[in-house]
Structure 1
Amino acid sequence: MLQQKIPATVITGFLGAGKTTIIRNMLTNAGGKKIALIINEFGDLGVDGEVLKGCGAENCTEDDIIELTNGCICCTVADDFVPTMQKLLDRDIKPDHIVIETSGLALPQPLVAAFNWPDIRTRVTVDGVVTVVDSAAVAAGRFADDHDAVAAQRADDESLDHESPIEELFEDQLTCADLIVLNKTDLLDAAGVVAVRAEVAGRTARKPTMIEARNGEVPSLVLLGIGAGTEDDIENRKSHHELEHEAAHAAGGDHDHLHHHDHDEFESFVLKLPPIADPAGFVEKLKDVIATHDVLRLKGFIDVPGKPMRLVLQAVGSRVDTYFDRPWTSGEKRETRLVVIGLHEWDYGAVVEAVQAAAG
């Protein structure tokens, strides 16, 4: 029966880990498989979907790319994801494989659980959950707190709050994985890669397969065909929220709030800017803006005067990558549009003003 089901791969990972690049490479090297892609974009502008539509893979046409922009997929499973899956499965020509790219803010666990819905379970199986890790960010200590100091504080103060939501999210994505891709290892030396492996392995009690990658280059044969049937193993991959709720329930009392996955710590906005005549200079100025205002993620398209192609911009921390992906089409409005994602406490007006100033 499992063989008759359409396999689905869930690709998750923190902001800027390289999920889109991995999927882009996968689509162009899928060996003729017809792939349907469901993208859950955080923010008001589906940048990742637009980037993937520009890859031109014959086996994944624009009709095979579905964007869910109503919110984080783990919070809109019933209203958004399940109906989308049902429509996809009811098509006359069904895909050979379904790939789901989650938002960087998504918990994989509720999404995997949705594959046990009766109308989906009989037709689809989770081939595997692939969690992409930004190795350079981990090496730089973005998630590497002083564990000994934290443990000592916890021992002294039982009322100490839980770890940061971002750190818990990172660990939940690792815990749900069948395959962990340590991406961007080319930015580290051998000792750095060893340290990242140890750090990531220490974040989950499970021991999923872990591989190294650079520039999102992972063979499709590695990503597709894992055959995990992950929906049957969700009891062993519980998130922090699930474990906290179970503990609270066992202790008695009302802890209904633990059912909710809170995204209030993040904010995003879309910014439209004039054409950028000097992209290199703009990028250098953006690095200062990112550092000053602690911008987590910045991505979008740039209109470069005199250039027939649009310029894609992807920024994570101080690393900013740009590349021309495809020509502007005849019916397409040329404009510079960026999605900016940061923490809730940031000064929204100051960030807008700084990015606008960088654009000149």
Structure 2
Amino acid sequence: MRKIPATIITGFLGAGKTTLVRHLLTHSRGRRIALIVNEFGDIGVDGELLAACGVPGCADDNIVELANGCLCCTVADEFLPTMQALLDRPNPPDHIVIETSGLALPKPLVKAFHWPEIRSRVTVDGVVAVVDSPAAASGRFASTPEEMARPDHDNPLEEVFEDQLACADLILLNKADLLDEAALAALREGIGARLRPGVKTHPTRLSAIDPLVVLGLSAAAEEDLAARPSHHDAEDGHDHDDFESFAVRLPMVDDPAAVESRAIAAIEAHDILRLKGFLAVSGKPARHVIQAVGTRVERYFDRPWKADEERVGTLVVIGRTGLDRSAIEAALLGL
């Protein structure tokens, strides 16, 4: 029997992975696509955004959300049973798309496809790394000379970013429209020099690319692990103690722009890597989405509140370990 292809979508926090998944579903051309969405933290935002997007392929029964962890750390406990359940459906999917947490290493996940119960039935069609082009171009993931000079030098952001690039079969330089031609060319050259031979880079805006490119790589990545080096190859697992996440509940607000201003101030003061979630706005029947990568913030209404939903806001905060939670909560709440 033909193996079911699976595509792993990796990329750092806020790079545009969920936007890419939504684009793939919108242009699926009739293919049955099952989604596995993993997030770092207890509360899943990306899976909820996909379920609310109105695209037929985003129906709840096609989305499996694995929260409170990273797939590279919970392969045996969560991912493998989930895969087996998808494969054992009476009408299994034509393609499986796995959106990893922005802090996940893709290589341990690719290794999981050697598990006997799925190896004969699924192949990793490709690993696609989505890059936040402005963040990468500004040196967000690079160590400074001062950091590199320290004997105890350790940059977990850089390690995660490099591991995601090293495992990829295709690189999407997303948000390329936010760079000028010279900056984009320099970024493309710099990242291209760090990739395996044959791995291509594609500039994208809003993660838009022909789905046939993303879902037709035919890489069989599980058979090519030796060519995909990782900073953690010598380790038994991957330690996420460098990062933490927590959620802040907000009562109904009158002015979401004021929340945005407070969020930007908190991000700048505490070096928050990612902030995302929902707001309840007075007098508005729809839920308000807020997404922040660095101090770049996007807001919009996505869907009406359900009759049985509590109309309160929830913001998920992700950053390096040691965040001042009480100070961040007070800032977001305007206290």
TM-score, length of structure 2 as denominator length? 0.95
The letter for the 2-side match of 1:28 is: T
Partner of 2:263: 286
* More deviation, 58-67/15-24: 58-67
Aligned with residue 215 of structure 1, among 199, 206, 223 = 206
Shift in Å at residue 34 of structure 1?
0.9
Of stretches 59-68 and 180-189 in structure 1, the one that deviates more from structure 2 is 59-68
- Pick one of 174, 190, 197 that aligns with 2:165: 174
Q: Percent identity?
A: 57
Choose which of 114, 123, 126 in structure 2 pairs with 1:116: 114
Q: Which residue of 2 aligns with 1:253?
A: none
CA offsets per residue over residues 277-326 of structure 1, 9 Å max, x none?
A: 11122212211111011111000011111112111111010101111111
The residue that corresponds to 1:184 in the other structure is: 175
Q: Partner residue of 2:284?
A: 307
Q: Secondary structure at the match of 2:232?
A: helix
Instruction: After TM superposition, give the deviation of residue 32 of structure 1 in Å.
Output: 1.1
Q: Is the CA contact (8 Å cut-off) linking 1:175 and 1:206 kept in structure 2?
A: no
Whether 1:198 aligns to 2:198 is: no
Shift of residue 203 of structure 1? Answer: 3.5
Partners of 2:237 and 2:20 lie apart in 1 by 30
Where does the alignment leave 5 or more consecutive residues of structure 1 unmatched? 246-257
Query: 1:345 and 2:322 equivalent?
Result: yes
Of the three residues 232, 238, 243, the one matched with 1:241 is 232
Residue identity opposite 1:317 in structure 2: G
Instruction: Measure, in 2, the Cα distance between the counterparts of 1:305 and 1:206.
Output: 54
Contact 1:14–1:132 (8 Å) recurs in 2: yes
Contact kept? 1:73, 1:111, Cα under 8 Å: yes
- Offset of 1:97 from its aligned partner? 0.6
Between the aligned partners of 2:61 and 2:162, the Cα distance in structure 1 is 34
Residues 54-203 of structure 1 aligned to structure 2 (within 5 Å): 54-145=52-143, 153=149, 160-161=151-152, 163-203=154-194
Q: Which runs of 5+ in 2 are unaligned?
A: none
Task: Please identify, of 53-62 and 228-237, the stretch whose mean Cα deviation from structure 2 is larger.
Answer: 53-62
Corresponding residue of 1:26:
24
* Corresponding residue for residue 251 of structure 2: 274
CA RMSD of aligned residues (A): 1.7
| Matched residue type, 1:136 | P
Distance 2:198 2:261 in 1: 40
2:14 is paired with a residue of what secondary structure? Answer: coil
Separation in 1, partners of 2:330, 2:97: 38
Q: Give the partner amino acid of 1:75.
A: C
CA contact (8 A) 2:143 2:155 kept: no
The separation in 1 between residues aligned to 2:271 and 2:198, in whole angstroms, is: 33
C-alpha offsets along residues 206-259 of structure 1, whole Å, 9 cap, x if unaligned?
A: 5511101011212212211111111110111021111xx2xxxxxxxxxxxx32
Q: Is the 8 A contact 2:50 2:58 kept in 1?
A: no
Match of 1:49 among 44, 47, 50: 47
Distance in 2 (alpha carbons) for counterparts of 1:170 and 1:237: 13
SS where residue 275 of structure 1 aligns? coil
Give distance in 2, aligned partners of 1:345 and 1:207. Answer: 40
Match status 1:316 vs 2:293: yes
CA shift at 1:59, angstroms?
2.8
Which segment is superposed worse, 328-337 or 107-116?
328-337
Q: One-letter code of the match for 1:140?
A: S
Q: Deviations over 1:123-156 (max 9, x none)?
A: 1111110000000101122023457x878x5xxx
CA offset digits 1:176-219 (Å, max 9, x no partner): 00000000011110011012112322344555111010112122
Q: Is the 8 A contact 2:175 2:205 kept in 1?
A: yes
Helix, strand or coil at the partner of 2:258: helix
Q: Would you say 1:325 and 2:302 are equivalent positions?
A: yes
Question: Aligned equivalents of 1:70 and 1:196: distance in 2?
Answer: 33
Kept in 1, the 8 Å contact 2:13–2:274? The answer is: yes
Aligned residue number for residue 40 of structure 1: 38
Given that residues 144 and 199 in structure 1 are in contact (C-alpha distance below 8 angstroms), is that contact kept between their aligned partners in structure 2?
Answer: no
CA distance in 1, matches of 2:263, 2:57: 36
Structure 1 contact 171–204 (Cα < 8 Å) conserved: no
Instruction: State the Cα deviation string for residues 53-104 of structure 1 (Å, max 9, x = none).
Output: 0112213421110011141100111111001100110000111110000001
In structure 2, the CA distance between the partners of 1:205 and 1:123, relative to structure 1 (3 Å rule), is closer
